Amino acid sequence: MRFYAISGSVRAVSVHSAMLRAFRDNAPDACEVVLCDLLESLPIFNPDREGEATPQSVLEFAHEVGKADALIVAAPEYAHGIPGGLKNALDWLVSRPELIGKPVLLAHAYSHGRGHYGLAALEEVLKTASLQIAPNSPFSVPLVGRSPEETKDILSEPAVRRSIRTALEALRQWVVTLS
C-alpha cells in the first residue's frame, strides 16, 4: 500500500518533515511511504489555469496524490491556520478527481494544547474537500521547539518507532475496510 506524505513546512530542518521521514523509514513491509517534495514547485492557484491550462507541476502533484492509497499530512500552525503552501496545493486539487474520498492520516508535532487551531483548520479543509480522516488521527509526537538533534533522537526512540509502525498498520487496515 502506497502512502503519500505531505509536509506543510518546506523549512530545511522542519520537525514535521522529520516526522514524515520517520514514517518512511519505519514503514512496515506492507506499506510504502513516499515523501512529497513538490509544494514549492506549484504556482499560486488560479482557477483560470485549471483544465487544459493546468501547469505541469500541478499535474505531477495530482498524479502522485491519485496513485496513493492514502495521504499522511503533517503541518505546522501558521497564525492559527494552515501554511499557505499547503492550502495552495490543496486548492489546486479541490476541483479535480484525485482527492475525492481519499483517506488521510493527520500527524501532529505539538504538545500542551499548542497547534490545535491549525489542526482544526486542516481538518475542516480536508473534510470540505471530501477526504476521509483516519480514526487514529492525529498521530502525535511532541517535536515543535526541539532542535534537529533532539528531534532525531526522539524519532529514533524504540517506543516512537513502534508507535509509527502501529499507526501505519492501523492506517493500512482501515484503508482495506474502505475498499
Binding interface with ligand FMN (CB under 6 A): 9, 11, 14-16, 76-80, 114-115, 144
Q: How far is the CB of 5 from ligand FMN (least distance, A)?
A: 13
CB nearer ligand FMN, residue 85 or residue 115: 115
CB nearer ligand FMN, residue 21 or residue 49: 21
CB nearer ligand FMN, residue 130 or residue 156: 156
Do the Cβ atoms of 45 and 92 come closer than 8 Å? yes
Q: How far is the CB of 82 from ligand FMN (least distance, A)?
A: 11
Q: b or e along 96-122 (b: 16 or more beta carbons within 10 Å of the residue's beta carbon)?
A: beebeebbbbbbbbbeeeebeebbebb
| DSSP percent split of the chain into helix, strand, coil, nearest 5 | 45, 15, 35
**C-alpha closest to that of 125 among 91, 92, 96, 95:** 91
CB nearer ligand FMN, residue 69 or residue 77: 77
Q: How far is the CB of 53 from ligand FMN (least distance, A)?
A: 31
Q: How far is the CB of 91 from ligand FMN (least distance, A)?
A: 19
Question: Strand pairing partners for 33?
Answer: 3
Do the Cβ atoms of 121 and 79 come closer than 8 Å? no
